[in-house]
């Protein structure tokens, strides 16, 4: 785990909602809901080709 933050999480879900559904805001946000972004760092990566 590299970082855990709430900053920008609401904007991030709204951006994904716009991309995949065309709606401006995430419609299923509950009262008091706190969104979190987890940033991870891979331990290794494999590729083929």
Q: What is the pLDDT of residues 5-38, one digit of tens each?
A: 999 999 999 999 999 999 999 999 999 999 999 9
For residue 1, pLDDT over 90 is answered with no
Quick one: tokens of 15? 């951006």
Contact 25, 14 (CB under 8 A): yes
Compute the distance between CA of residue 14 and CA of residue 43 in angstroms, rounded to an integer: 30
Q: Does 17 fall in a domain?
A: yes
Q: Does 46 fall in a domain?
A: no
Q: Does 13 fall in a domain?
A: yes
Q: Does 19 fall in a domain?
A: yes
Total structural domains within the chain = 1
Compute the distance between CA of residue 38 and CA of residue 43 in angstroms, rounded to an integer: 16
Q: Does 47 fall in a domain?
A: no
Q: Does 10 fall in a domain?
A: yes
Q: Does 48 fall in a domain?
A: no
Instruction: For residue 24, give its domain range.
Output: 3-39
Question: pTM for this one?
Answer: 0.76
Q: Does 33 fall in a domain?
A: yes
């Amino acid at each position: 785990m590299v970082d855990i933050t709430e900053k920008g999480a609401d904007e991030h879900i709204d951006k994904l909602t716009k991309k995949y559904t065309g709606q401006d805001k995430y419609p299923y946000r509950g009262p008091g809901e706190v969104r979190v972004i987890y940033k991870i760092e891979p331990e290794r990566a494999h590729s083929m080709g």
